[in-house]
Structure 1
Amino acid sequence: MIDRSNGATARKHQAILRVSAVGVAGLLSILMVTAVAPPIVADQSDRAVVNAPVTLLTAPISGEIDALTALPGSDVRDGDRLAQIRNPRLDRSTLISLEEKSSDARQKLDATRAKRESDLAYVASLDTELASQTDQLRAQFQSQIEELRARVAQSNAMSGEKKALVERQNNMVTRAAASIEMVRPTAQQYNAALHNADAETAKLNQKQAQLGALNRGVYVGDELIALNNLAQKRRDIGLDAKRMEIEEKQLSAVLADLESMIDLEQSRLASLSAADVLSRGGGKVLTIGAAAGRHVNAGDTISSIVDCDKRFVVAIFSYRQGQNMMPGTRVRIDGSSFRSGIISAVLPKTSDKADERFAVPFPQTERRELYAIITPDGADGNGSQAQQAATSGVPACPVGQWVTVTRDNGVVPSMSVSWRRLGHFVASWTRDAGLHTDTAQNSPLDSDTRRAGLDRLQAAFHSPRPQAEKPDEDREPGARALASQ
């Protein structure tokens, strides 16, 4: 009897061990299947976050922040001044050098202009003197020409007289009334009279040529040497005046260029001495990267502004769902003010440089996963954000909020979402059962209550519930500030 009872007990223990091993193996298999298989083919993802583009406002100049009016989470409009920067320590050496060059050029220009005016005045006086002496010489030449004309006429008359005398004596010689020796002196006097007439005519022509040259401004002759020197000096002074005029134009152009450069340098220094950091579009202030009184360099980030009207959802799905998550696919969004949306793009990966353009970094993907960019319905409508926030009680700008994305008509849920919903249901069921036990004084549940519990358990795996947000440590401080608005 003892041996039989011991054998039955041993077989019972072995059966219990086998059942326990099979149960543990089955449980591990279920856990492995639910942990590996559903994420690959799941139509649902809780690794989704609300994101929005940000605008970085940088310091246009180096200096100290004199005033800072931006606060994290505050609303701003296009053109609002968020900060004021001043820089009293500017390098003005370039401006000083340009002003010195401008002063030298202005002094040279004034000296050149004065020299030119002096030359012009001297030229005017020389012109007056030349005109006066030319008039005197012209009158003198006119009188000399008249005198020479009279002498030419006199010489012609004397030559005519001598010619008549020679002819009479030649007639007398022909008639043998006089000798040939008597004609020779008279012929010589006649030749002398002809030469004298030619000389007077030559002098007359010379004076007429000098008068014509004088009228044309050509000074030839002994009488015109002084006037020629005066005209030469006038030409030299006139050329110097022309040279001063050219130099004056050059200096004027140089001075104009220097004044233009001075104006540009003054404008540059004015822009570098003080500047305002203005908002380039509306939105909410996400972060503040500086404080009042702090020294910043040009290009340092002062603030970042998130445009909540252009918000979108970034969700992670398996690459096997790429065909099901094509652009244009409608999805459901749980846990935020918007309930649905359309996939606008599918990205295989992202980078740190691309993440800088958005309010929060994209969630980290694992191997063979992709990003689905979802545009919520009504995200670009005017006033939709405030209305949704007022009706649903969720943050007005839910940037950084974790949500659950489910493809419309999706059949494979995410196991993490299912386990969480099951935990919520069990917790609520336990609380409801405790309350019912307290009120019914531990009365047994009937078949209707058991059936209702099973129906609620089945509905928990299929009906969406708002997902709890991820811990705040996973989000940036600016996103937490916006979510708390």
Structure 2
Amino acid sequence: MAGRLETIARSKRLRLALAVSLAATGLWAFMPYMANEVGGEAWVNAPLTRISSPISGEVTTALPAPGAHLARPRRAVLVKARALATDGLGALLDQKAALEAGLALAEQQLAEIAAADQRLQSRAGRFETASVARLQATADAAQADLEACRAEAREARQQLDRIETLAAQRFATNTVRDRARGAAAATAARCTALEARLAANTQEMQAARAGLYLGNAGQDFPYAEQQRDRLMLRRQEVETSATTARAHLAELTRRVAAEQARLKAAAAYEALLPADRIVWRTLVSPGQSVSSGDTLLELADCAHRFVEVTLPERRMEAMQPGSPARVRLIGSDEWLEGRIMGVTGAAARRDAALVAADDANRDALALTVAIAIPATAQGSAARRCDIGRLAEVRFSRWQG
């Protein structure tokens, strides 16, 4: 048995196969480094959003704790003011109350004027009906008197004609004839007067139907219509005052609303915390006094994570925005497909306060490439979205 093992160990084929397998294993291990450019230092980063207080006051207990994950938008009152001056609002409310009282009085006066106008209109209508009826009756009576007078005039004329005939035959004296002539002339004159009176009554009745009253003591309108004219002038004055009051009241209402909104904003700062964020750092604590402009907390944007990796400056021309890159977080076996979103030269300056992870120890002679990676996975929120975690990045040597 020992001899057979020694024979197998000394076999030339076995030693050749072992050498080939060792060479293939080494080639396979170094193939990724031959086919890809492997980045140096790489870490996960994310932009920061700073929440500052626009008012002075005291921090509330609604301030989220560091590391809290905001899965959806949340409204929270972060700061409450201690005291507010409301004198300006009180003065505006007093002016508004006075204007509302004046406007209510004007509207009440307009209602009363409208009711009085309605009564006067009804009274003027009844007056017109009664006047036209009275004038119609007078005209009818004058017409009847005229008809009677015309009948008497015809009889007087006939009587005069008979007496004239008798006088011509000397059967009637001249005295009788003269008396008959006078009676006929008087009757004709009385009929003419009645015709004139009937014509006057007819004209007065027609004028009354048109709204003019000729026999009303020299006034062409009745008292009710004159009072309606006075009410119209008074209504115009009150309506002008009411319109001015409404305009002032609308302006005061806007000013009161603006002052109330200002006081509400000054009384408490209610922030809308965006979704998919991690509370990266809180710079204050509940109960602490803050001034306007003080930073309360910083939120890291988990939806826009990126990996920063350092590369030699000679790779600057090959790093084109939009080119693909493969990223693997240290400790994970999953490779993420990313895209280059920006390249920063070695000597370029950058505001490190705008990102969550610190790159103060990066190589000063290397360029920095930012690579966008997919949004956070389901469980990475508990790991603060893996921000600051080291990563391995590979770029294909044959791209660009």
Q: Fold conserved (TM > 0.5)?
A: yes
User: 1:221 deviation in Å?
Assistant: 1.4
Tell me how far apart the structure 2 counterparts of residues 163 and 96 of structure 1 sit (CA, whole Å). Answer: 98
Match of 1:161 in 2: 155
Q: Does 1:399 align with 2:398?
A: no
Match of 1:373 in 2: 370
Compute the displacement of 1:280 (Å): 0.9
CA distance in structure 1 between the aligned counterparts of 2:394 and 2:114, rounded to whole angstroms: 95
Give the one of 197, 200, 205 matched to 1:206.
200
Structure 1 unmatched ranges of 5 or more: 1-41, 390-394, 411-485
Aligned to 2:40, the other structure's residue is in SS state strand
Structure 1 position 315, deviation (Å): 2.0
Q: 1:420-461, CA deviations, whole angstroms, 9 ceiling, x for partnerless residues?
A: xxxxxxxxxxxxxxxxxxxxxxxxxxxxxxxxxxxxxxxxxx
- What is residue 123 of structure 1 aligned with on the other side? 117
Distance 1:115 1:83 in 2: 49
Q: 1:359 is matched with which residue?
A: 356
CA contact (8 A) 2:80 2:267 kept: yes
| Alpha-carbon spacing, 1:112–1:81, altered in 2? closer, same or farther (3 Å) | closer
Q: Name whichever of 126-135 and 150-159 sits farther off.
A: 126-135
Q: 1:344 aligns with which of 331, 334, 340?
A: 340
Contact 1:95 1:262 in 2 (8 A): yes
Distance change in 2, residues 1:117/1:73 (3 Å): closer
**Aligned equivalent of 1:110, options 100, 104, 108:** 104
Tell me the matched-pair count.
Answer: 358
**Equivalent position amino acid for 1:315 in 2:** V
Q: Are 1:315 and 2:309 an aligned pair?
A: yes
**1:287 paired to 2:281:** yes
Q: Indicate the residue corresponding to 2:300 in structure 1.
A: 306
SS in 1 for 2:214: coil
Q: Which amino acid aligns with 1:345?
A: M
What whole-Å deviation, never above 9, does each CA across 1:397-428 have from its counterpart, x for those lacking one? 54345656454569xxxxxxxxxxxxxxxxxx
1:139-158 equivalent positions in 2, closer than 5 A:
140-158=134-152
CA distance in 2, matches of 1:118, 1:309: 68
Which residue in the other structure is 2:325 paired with? 330
The separation in 1 between residues aligned to 2:89 and 2:333, in whole angstroms, is 58
Normalised TM-score (structure 1)? 0.60
Q: Is 2:275 the counterpart of 1:275?
A: no
User: Relative contact order: is structure 1 or structure 2 higher (C-alpha 8 Å, sep ≥ 6)?
Assistant: 2
Contact 2:67–2:384, Cα closer than 8 Å, also in 1: no
Residues 1:328 and 1:221: Cα distance change in structure 2 (over 3 Å) = same
Post-superposition offset of 1:194? 2.2
Cα distance in 2 for partners of 1:210, 1:43 equals 118
How far residue 199 of structure 1 moved from its aligned partner, in angstroms, is: 1.5
Offset from partner CA, 1:49-101 (integer Å, 9 cap, x none): 43112232333544321325433334343345666211243343443343233
Cα shift readout 1:131-189 (whole Å, capped 9, x = no counterpart): 56556545543553343233313321332233223333444566576798986665455
Helix, strand or coil for the counterpart of 1:85?
A: strand
Which residue matches 1:464?
none
Hey, what's the Cα distance between the residues in 1 that align with 2:146 and 2:305?
119
Q: Could you tell me how far apart the structure 2 residues matched to 1:334 and 1:125 are?
A: 92
Distance 1:87 1:127, change over 3 A: same
Q: Which moved more, 1:231-240 or 1:165-174?
A: 165-174
What is the distance in 2 between the residues matched to 1:175 and 1:229? 67
Quote the residue 2:14 is aligned against: none
Displacement of 1:232 in angstroms is 0.9
Deviation, 1:303, is 0.9
Aligned-CA RMSD value: 4.1
Distance 1:43 1:117, change over 3 A: closer
Relative to structure 1, the CA distance from residue 361 to residue 184 in structure 2 (aligned partners, 3 Å threshold; closer, same or farther) is: farther
Q: CA deviation at 1:200?
A: 1.0
User: For residue 58 of structure 1, what is the aligned residue in structure 2?
Assistant: 52
State the distance in 2 between where 1:203 and 1:307 align: 105
Q: Give the distance between the partners of 2:116 and 2:74, measured in 1 at CA.
A: 66
Match of 1:77 among 71, 81, 84: 71
Question: Secondary structure at the residue paired with 1:67?
Answer: coil
AA partner of residue 375 (structure 2):
D
Greater CA drift, 89-98 or 245-254? 245-254
Structure 1 stretches of 4+ moved >6 Å: 176-182
Determine helix, strand or coil for the equivalent of 1:207.
helix
Q: 2:89 touches 2:256 (CA, 8 Å); kept in 1? A: yes
Change in CA separation of 1:155 and 1:323 when aligned onto 2, cut-off 3 Å: same
> 1:197 Cα deviation (Å)?
1.0
Comparing 108-117 and 68-77, the one that deviates more: 68-77
Residue identity opposite 1:360 in structure 2: A
% identical aligned pairs: 20
Is 2:302–2:375's contact at 8 Å kept on the other side of the alignment?
no
Deviations 1:98-130 (Å, cap 9, x if unpaired)? 323321221212221232233344435544654
Separation in structure 1 between the aligned mates of residue 53 and residue 174 of structure 2, nearest angstrom: 129
* Cα deviation digits, residues 21-56 of structure 1 (max 9, x gap): xxxxxxxxxxxxxxxxxxxxx945534443112232
Q: Which has the higher helix share?
A: 1
Separation (CA, whole Å) in 2 of partners of 1:370 and 1:174: 157
Counterpart residue number, 2:26: none
Distance 1:129 1:227, change over 3 A: farther
Kept after mapping to 2: 8 A contact 1:210/1:221: yes
Deviations 1:287-315 (A, max 9, x none): 21333344445554311122446432212
Contact 1:60/1:277 (CA < 8 Å) preserved in 2?
Answer: no
Given residue 340 of structure 2, which amino acid in structure 1 is its aligned partner?
S
- Which letter maps to 2:107? R
Please show how residues 166-177 of structure 1 align to structure 2 within 5 Å.
166-172=160-166
Closer, same or farther: CA 223–186 of 1 in aligned 2, 3 Å:
farther
The corresponding residue for 1:450 is none
Query: Cα–Cα, structure 1 residues 211 and 370, in superposed 2: closer, same or farther, change >3 Å?
Result: same
Query: Residue 241 and residue 302 in structure 1: after superposition, are their counterparts in 2 closer, same or farther (change >3 A)?
Result: same
Matching residue's letter, 2:72: D
Q: Is the 1:162–1:186 contact (alpha carbons within 8 Å) kept by the matching residues of 2?
A: yes
Q: Which runs of 5+ in 2 are unaligned?
A: 1-35
